[in-house]
Chain A
Amino acid sequence: SQTIHQWPATLVQPVGSPLSLECTVEGTSNPNLYWYRQAAGRGLQLLFYSVGIGQISSEVPQNLSASRPQDRQFILSSKKLLLSDSGFYLCAWSVGLSNQPQHFGDGTRLSIL
């Protein structure tokens, strides 16, 4: 069966520091991968998605970037964090050419001080 791992679960960082959040998927090949941000009491905001190694699309202009160095690894990064980067970050995967749903990791709670 497929599993998705996200870490760390919580992170507290000072303004201006770098960021690296990692997500890995097991049990499937060539998944579509996604990074979302979820504000308290609000819906999911799509940040990045990837349909293959090295292929990244950004949906919202921001201080963040994403990379996909391996088929089942997706990384969210920033060189200098802003206060507005605080939030709950979720990684998800889906099967590419199908009508199947997305499946989510357990998220990372990021607090910027």
Chain B
Amino acid sequence: EDQVTQSPEALRLQEGESSSLNCSYTVSGLRGLFWYRQDPGKGPEFLFTLYSAGEEKEKERLKATLTKKESFLHITAPKPEDSATYLCAVRRRLDNYGQNFVFGPGTRLSVLP
């Protein structure tokens, strides 16, 4: 069964303390892995797309990497404004457009000043 898991469930960091979030997936016919940021009471905001193992994307303090079975979201020297829930999702090859996307449960990140 295709699934996406994320760890840790929650993470508390001090400002400037770098760390990584993990997204592990088992899907058939991967057509892309996506990272989103979600603030409380808001919809997920798209961050990155990764398509093949070895690919990396960067945006400010965030860097996403992809292997054949997992993706990491590295946060370098985080600031309090990076506090949010980070969601991972995969798009798989299916004729059913609805079930194309599978989301993980997310990691709640808190960055303390």
Contact = CB atoms under 8 A, between A and B. Distances in A.
Interface string B26-60: 00000110101000011111100101000000000
Interface stretch (A11-19, A71-79, A95-103): A95-103
Contact of B43 (A49, A99, A101, A105): A105
B47 to A, nearest CB: 9
Contacts of A90: 43-44
A46 interface: yes
Contact of A59 (B43, B98, B105): B98
Contacts, number: 58
Interface string A80-113: 0000000000101010100111111111010000
Interface residues of A, number: 27
Contact of A51 (B32, B34, B97): B97
Interface string A15-49: 00000000000000000101000000111101011
A57 interface: yes
Smallest CB-CB A-B distances: 3 pairs: A104-B43, A49-B98, A101-B34
